[in-house]
Every structure is written in C-alpha cells, then in structure tokens.
Copies of this chain bind each other. A is one copy, B any other.
Amino acid sequence: MKKIGVIIASTREGRVGRSIAEYVLTQVTQSPHIVYDLIDLKAENLPFNDEPMPAVRHQYQHAHTLKWSQKINSYDGFVIVTPEYNHGYPAPLKNALDMLYIEWNDKPVALVGYGYSASGTRSIEQLRQVLTYLQLKPVWREVNINLATVLKEGVFHGDDGLNEATKAVLADLEKALA
C-alpha cells in the first residue's frame, strides 16, 4: 500500500487552499494500492526552523522537528497545493520543506498552483528548483488554477477542464510511484 499526502501550503486566514486540496481528493481514482490524505500546514503549526544543525545532517533536537520528520517519512509521494505570493512560494511551505531532507529524497511530487494573473505558475517554477534540490521528483505536468475563473462569490468550483487536468497529473504521480 502506497501513501500520498496532499500538502496544503497556505496557512492564511480565508485561504482557498484547503478547498482546492479537498477538491483534488475528489479527483483520485479509487485504488486498493494507494491512499491519499491531507497534510494541512495550518494544523501542523510548525515554528520557523530553529534547529542548530542543517537538516542534511539529520540530527534533530526539537520534538516538533522529529514529529514532522516521522510524519513525512510515512509517505511515499506528495501533491503540493500552493498559492503564489509576490511571484514566489509561501513561507510556511518553504519552512516545512527546509526543515527536513532525507525524508523527502526520491519521492515523487505533483504540483497544483493557484493565483490570479499567472495561475500560480511562477510560484511553481521557483518551487521546482527547491524540490529538485531536496531530491524530490516533480512530475512533468502540473495543475494551474486561475482563481478569477474558479471562485464564485468566494467559493471554489471545479469544472470539466480542471477535472481532466487534475486527473492527468495524478496519473503521472501514481506512475512515478510504481
């Protein structure tokens, strides 16, 4: 049995990220071999990384780092649902990534970005460089969501095009898991 975590990168009040992550789960093909669940960085409530040693040394001194390490260790792959803030990735996501190293290594990751004019593409471009450095394996396709088209009175609504794009990326991810 393989386990995939859908990481909600935004922790802001009023974030749309949680709705998008829940939507991603509705697009999963039921399989007896793969389970998906949510990893909500708001619920994880990690502090800014305060470990004295670089994560690559794997000598964690704080209980919250050890707990995060054990959690990420238990997954075989990830979907990251991320907003774009000022052309880049959000701080809570970068903090959660930088806190660990070997726990991310060699695991596939699919990217779902959202935003207005650029649909999260610039955040994902910067993020691909970081993920690659952590030896995560980003899949080729990605989901780019323009909030101007999917938010109706502040509530997220998918459509056929988005369903198709999301299923395609999840298929890439599941293939990379194998």
Contact = CB atoms under 8 A, between A and B. Distances in A.
B88 A130 contact: yes
Contacts of A12: 49-52
Nearest to A129: B87
A98 interface: yes
A11 B99 CA distance: 13
A95 B86 contact: no
A133 to B, nearest CB: 4
Interface string A88-118: 1111101101100000000000000000000
A14 B12 CA distance: 29
A21 B48 CA distance: 21
A126 B91 CA distance: 13
Contacts of A92: 48, 91, 95
